[in-house]
Amino acid sequence: MFFRVRHQKMLHVYLLIFVVLGILVVLGAMIAYHVLLREQHFQIQAAVAKLANGDLKNLHFESAAIYNSVANSADQKPLVIYNRVPKTGSTSFVNVAYDLHSRNAFRVLHVNVTGNSHQLSIYDQFRFVDNTTRWLRPAFYHGHFAYIDFERYGYQKPYYVQLLRKPLDRLVSYYYFLRYGDDYRPYLVRKKHMDSSTTFDECVERDGADCQANLLWLQIPFLCGQSADCWTPGSEWALKQAKRNVLEKYTLVGVTEHMGEFLHMLELIIPGKMFHNASEHFKHSPKSHLRKTAKKHPLSRKTIQKFHESIIWQMENELYTFVAREFAFAYNKQFPNTPSILNGSMGKHLKSSGYIPPPSFRYEKIYPKPAQFQKKKKSTNHV
């Protein structure tokens, strides 16, 4: 009995010692973590102060932990998704990525949706989000599918990019593409080649199925997303949602007519130098303007007027105008000394690739002051 009581007391003592040691270890770790954070804080403040004073040569992080956390962060291995709208110059853009992938060290993957459908089931959306998030990066995914919301499934949103084209130009290009093909695969017989003698104007006159105004309804749903209302022609909600996604979900949405400027912006805002030298490559590459439709007839004023009276064209054109205005604003803000993109003269004044404009902001009144600057200030006062 005596030994049993003594044994129980010893167990209580050992348990108490174990608890105390655990508390001490936790407290020690918290103190060490706090000290490390404070040290990194001062180093960052010192780096910012050097940057503010223009001391770029001696700017470096002395803490390897800070450097590694920045260099190895997910942002340096970006996930870029281009849910390309058909007949918007997407092949030219994608071929720039294929040409640069080896030099800039990233992967390019085409997403082939079964049956040329632009919508995915809910579970397929989840699988796509999960796959692209977990697989190797940096990576550039492209395919003809509507916007998929990563955050809906609990994942961090990727860098979504998009290009839009004037709605009627896009539809007319697609109409003749189905009949005459393009310069990318000129010998491929297209499914409408038997109807190649019918012009778009004649199709409109006959009220043909391939030239209905409802067929314009594509850029809005691509930016709107996978919801049923996104694909309802004439939906005001879909137009508003597409605009909202342009501002909140997409990193950059450009226009086909200014693809060079679009690539230049990507060079600046996609991390890891993924699109380094993209605009210069686009300017000189023989693949820059692929998939040009082999033959197109100019539209009559009557046809143009008929489409302009359509609610669908007006809504699609409203989205295109909205995107063009937002892109022009962003580009002109980034390069204020460049002629406005809206006047159509931007291309000849495109800044050379690799040009990074100086920042239009600076840091000041930084507190608490780094210790080394406090010492320097005291020594200056003594002098």
Per-residue pLDDT of the chain (383 residues), as tens digits, is 545 556 666 777 777 887 788 788 778 777 776 666 666 555 555 554 554 454 444 444 344 444 344 444 455 799 999 999 999 999 999 999 999 999 999 999 999 998 889 999 999 999 999 999 999 999 999 999 999 999 999 999 999 999 999 999 999 999 998 887 665 554 444 455 445 678 999 999 999 999 999 999 999 999 999 999 999 999 999 999 999 999 999 999 999 999 999 999 999 999 999 999 999 999 888 765 655 554 678 999 999 999 999 999 999 999 999 999 999 999 999 988 777 665 555 444 555 556 677 888 888 888 887 665 555 555 555 55
Whether 276 is a known active-site residue: answer: no
Q: Which of 41, 60, 118, 142 is catalytic?
A: 142
- What one-character DSSP code corresponds to residue 59? -
Domains of the chain by residue range = 77-334
Alpha-carbon span 87 to 260, nearest angstrom = 17
Residues 6+ positions from 16 with CB-CB distance below 8 Å: none
- Greatest CA separation for the chain: 110
Q: Which of 118, 144, 276, 281 is catalytic?
A: 144
Whether 35 and 63 have beta carbons less than 8 Å apart is answered as: no
Q: CB burial class (10 A; 0-12, 13-18, 19+) of residue 358?
A: exposed
Whether 144 is a known active-site residue: answer: yes
Whether 200 and 304 have beta carbons less than 8 Å apart is answered as: no
**Does CATH place domain 77-334 in 3.40.50.300?**
yes
Q: CB burial class (10 A; 0-12, 13-18, 19+) of residue 224?
A: buried
Q: Tell me the sheet residues that pair with 250.
A: 160
Phi, then psi, of 81 in degrees rounded to 5: -125, 125
Give me the torsion for CA of 330, 270, 167, 183, rounded to 10°: 130
Could you give the C-alpha distances from 224 to 17, 127, 155, 235, 329, in angstroms and in order? Answer: 61, 20, 19, 11, 22
**Strands laid side by side in the 79-83 sheet:** 107-110, 139-143, 79-83, 159-164, 250-255
Q: What is the pTM of this model?
A: 0.73
- End-to-end Cα distance, the chain: 80
